[in-house]
Amino acid sequence: MKSYIDKLNEMNIGTVLENEPLANHTTWKIGGPADVMVEPDSIVDLQAIMTFLQEEKIPWRAIGRGSNLLVSDKGIRGVVIKLGENLSELTVDGEEITVGGGYSLIKLATVISKQGLSGLEFAGGIPGSVGGAVFMNAGAHGSDISKILKRAHILYEDGTMRWIENEDMAFSYRTSRLQKEKGICIEAVFQLKAGDREKIKEELQHNKDYRRKSQPWNFPCAGSVFRNPLPNYAGQLIEKANLKGHQIGGAQVSDMHGNFIVNVKDATAEDVLQLIQHIKDTVKNKFDVKMETEVEIIGE
């Protein structure tokens, strides 16, 4: 392992950390160490990293702001690439914006609303990065990324980069083609619409307030744990099953919202996994509905 860490350091491509606890990089505050974490300084550096990892056959995965993610207690072998502040440039060209994959989605929605551009109001309370939002087709309040994405700039694991148009992203509910093929969204172009600045800001604030009142951000969490098994809603099924407040170890089904699991006291990934399984079993037994996780579960 040491040899490739030395090489990554010699490449001068950003920050390289060994045995970095991923609990420091996830909104759940859960996760064992990554063998190596790299935070590239630029897209060019990220491309160089990807080419090197491919040549050396070193396993990798990318993360953004660490929401919607459960990392195992044993951590992740190989290299974790973190898209951070250095990949968060923003360019506004009329009603079209180009934004880096590391940009905070909440921050983007706020910044864009002040410029009188509409389309991102739904994203005001989604605690992820632009790259992660494209990966998941993140959404809320009746809208999602597929409604505003024009094209995405994707870096593939062989080091090649390609712009993918919206219609080729295979978007569906909380799904995109990036969940089936190994690639990182390094930039996104969003098509927005000019509107009344005050009305846009008002709707954005309304969505933020709704999330603040209905969702538990007083404890570390990862957002919604389960996909909605339409026409049902995951949170409602969990609440009808009397699982609100149910706790295993340090992980608890939120008292505020059934589809949130909160880290109330030093929860481990194993605590969360056991609680997820208990929820699945209970809902299946009571309502004959199969629950599927929305959070991505990764690691050894």
Catalytically active residues are: 174, 224, 294
**SS3 category, 115:** coil
d(CA 81, CA 65): 11
* Main-chain dihedrals φ then ψ at residue 203, nearest 5 degrees: -65, -40
Q: What is the DSSP letter of 165?
A: E
d(CA 20, CA 75): 9
d(CA 56, CA 69): 27
Residue type at 217?
Answer: W
List helix spans (H) across 83-129.
105-113
Q: What is the 3-state secondary structure (H, E, C) of 26-85?
A: CCCCCCCEEEEEEEECCHHHHHHHHHHHHHHCCCEEEECCCCCEEECCCCEEEEEEECCH
Find the farthest-apart pair of alpha carbons in the chain and give their distance in angstroms, rounded. Answer: 57
* Torsion sign (Cα): 102, 105, 109, 111: negative
Q: What is the DSSP letter of 162?
A: E
Q: Is the peptide bond before 216 cis (omega within 30 degrees of 0)?
A: no
| Contacting residues for 135 by C-beta, under 8 A, at least 6 apart | 176, 178, 179, 185
